Amino acid sequence: MKNWIPLLLLLFVVTSCKTRNANRKNDNNGKTDSTIVAENDRDPKDATEPVRDKLTFYEHVLIPQKFDQIKINSKVNVETGSFVPTLDATIYIENNQKVWMNLSALFINVARGIATPEGIKGLDRTSKSYIDSDFEYLNNLLNVNFIDYKSLEKILMGRTFVKISDSQFTLTKNAQGFRMASNSNQKIVTNEKTREYKIVLDYDTNYDLLNVNLKDVLSPDELEISYSNWDEFNGIRLPKNVKIIIKGSKSSQILLENTKFDFSRMDTPYSVPSSYKKIEIK
C-alpha cells in the first residue's frame, strides 16, 4: 500500500492536537499529563465509589451535540517506524452527511479523502492512485471491527463511540472523574465477524471523554484513543488534543494539534483524475 493512502484513512478517525509535552500543566489540580496517564493506568483508591446520579452522566456522554458543520485545522504527526513529515490537515464535518479531509506537506497538497455513510474514498497525489472502499478497510487499519460512519463522526467530535449500558458496564467515580468499565467481554458482531473486547472509558468531572481503551481478548490487537485540553467553541465542547495508539498485528501512533475551529460552510471538492490508478482493497 502506498504511503499516503493508509495515512489518509487513519487520520479520518481523529480530530485534535498533539500531546508531545508530557509535562504540560492542566486543570486537574496542577498535575501534569504524564502524572494523570500514570494514575489512569492503575485503579484509583476511590474507584469503587458509587455514582448516584447515573442519569446525568448518561445524558452528558450519550446525547449527541447539536451542530450543522465544523471545520478543523490541525497539525499532524504520525509515528509508524519510518519518517513521515508533519502534515497540515483540514477536516470538515457535515453532521450525518460527510467527513472531508485535505492533507498537505510543505504547502504541497498530497492527499484528499471523503467519508460518507456509504464508505470512504481517498486519493494520493504523490503516487497518483486512489481507493474507493467500504469501512472494512478502515477497521482493518485500526485493528477493530465496528467502525461505521456514525462511530467515525463521534470519534472526530470526541464523543462516546462504543455502545455502553448500565447492565453491561460498571460506572464508578474516581479522583479524575468517572470510569466506565465492561463487566464482561463485549461481543461486537459485524458482517458475520465476531470479536470480543475489554472496554474501559475514562471521563473527567465535566463528563469530557479522556480515554478509551479497547483490548481484543483473543488477540494482541488493542486500540487506545486519548483526548485532552477540552474547551468550548460555539457552544460545543471539543478536544484540542488527541492521541491514537494502535497495537497488535499493526502498530502506529498518531498525534494531532488543532489550531482552529470554524463553523461556517465550505466547499469540499473531491475528484479523481483519469490518469490515477485504483488500488484494489483485498
How far, in Å, CA of 33 to CA of 18, rounded? 12
How far, in Å, CA of 188 to CA of 214, rounded? 12
> Is residue 256 one of the residues assigned to a domain?
yes
> Is residue 94 one of the residues assigned to a domain?
yes
Average pLDDT, whole number, for the chain? 82
Number of domains in the chain: 1
> Is residue 92 one of the residues assigned to a domain?
yes
How far, in Å, CA of 253 to CA of 100, rounded? 21
> Is residue 270 one of the residues assigned to a domain?
no
| Bigger pLDDT: 22 vs 39 | 39
> Is residue 279 one of the residues assigned to a domain?
no
Q: What is the CATH number of the domain that holds 97?
A: 2.50.20.10
| Bigger pLDDT: 229 vs 106 | 229
Q: What is the pTM of this model?
A: 0.80
Condensed to tens digits (0 to 9), the pLDDT of residues 156-212 reads 889 999 999 989 999 999 988 999 999 999 988 877 678 899 999 999 999 999 999
Structural domain of residue 98, as residue ranges? 4-262
> Is residue 67 one of the residues assigned to a domain?
yes
